[in-house]
Amino acid sequence: MRRRATGATVTEISTPIAPGTLRGKTALVTGSSRGIGADTVRYLAAAGANVVINFRNKAPRAEKLAAEVRAFGVDALVVGADLTDPESVAAMFAAVEKAFGGLDILVLNASGGMEAGMADDYALLLNRDAQVSVLEAAVPLLRGDARVVFVTSHQAHFIRTTPTMPEYEPVALSKRAGEDALRERMPALLERGIGFVVVSGDMIEGTITATLLERANPGAIASRRESAGKLYNVSEFAAEVAQAAVDPIPADNTRLVGDTSSFAGA
């Protein structure tokens, strides 16, 4: 157990990584001011890592998280960046280099595509192009034995063999395209001693994506829960993401979280 600060109170939280395991390491989690990203930051910080909290437009929420994890005795840097803007990404990594000198863990958690008012190509821009540009910008800072973790969903990972809901299909296709583009860079990463792993999860209860899917397709979450038997919540899935940063990398570089029996090719 490790302490978690909540306002003026410090409570105990269970941690998936042993305390001190990541002491002296630095981790950046994209899209980490809330949800899975925020809980991943908490787990990595609880294990001793200094953390970089990335947000797009919710600075107060990111600053609140930073104050919380500093109670673990780690440093926390808050950096706003639009991951679809290369100049913004470059500025983020310049700030990371200035603060910490390098990175040991990069978690590519940020994604999207179901938001209202975005351009038709936004999902592909964020879920494929931005993932690659963030990785390429990070590589010069990634130290030996660094780990890159890409977060995706079963609905995206298996999209070529198992159809998904029409409302989610553009996101699923773009996230699969992002996964493929990142996998193409695995040999170059390996040459530098950098490990790469994909963490794919079933629908996660409590996420923005699940909320939007339920709004577009009422009953979708309950139906999937019944089919799978269990759906992970945000903190449970974040624990798997955090563990992927330290656990041995599977032979196929893929960590599957939750039921896969409904997905062809699993």
The count of other CB atoms within 10 Å of the CB of residue 191 is 8
pTM, two decimal places: 0.90
Residues of the chain with pLDDT under 70: 1-14, 113-119, 206, 208-213, 216, 220, 226, 228
| Count: domains in the chain | 1
Quick one: which of 162, 157, 172 has its CA closest to 213? 172
Q: Within a domain: residue 214?
A: yes
Which stretches of 56-122 are assigned E, i.e. beta strand?
76-80, 103-108
Range of the domain at 160: 2-257
Q: What pLDDT sits at residue 167? A: 82
Give the whole-angstrom CA distance, residue 233 versus residue 50.
25
Q: What pLDDT sits at residue 11? A: 36
Q: Mind listing the pLDDT tens digit for each residue in 242-257?
A: 999 999 999 999 999 9
Average pLDDT across the chain, whole number: 89
Q: Within a domain: residue 262?
A: no
Q: Mind listing the pLDDT tens digit for each residue in 101-114?
A: 999 999 999 987 66
Q: Which two tokens stand for residue 228?
A: 């799978």
The domain that holds 19 is classified in CATH as 3.40.50.720
Q: Within a domain: residue 266?
A: no
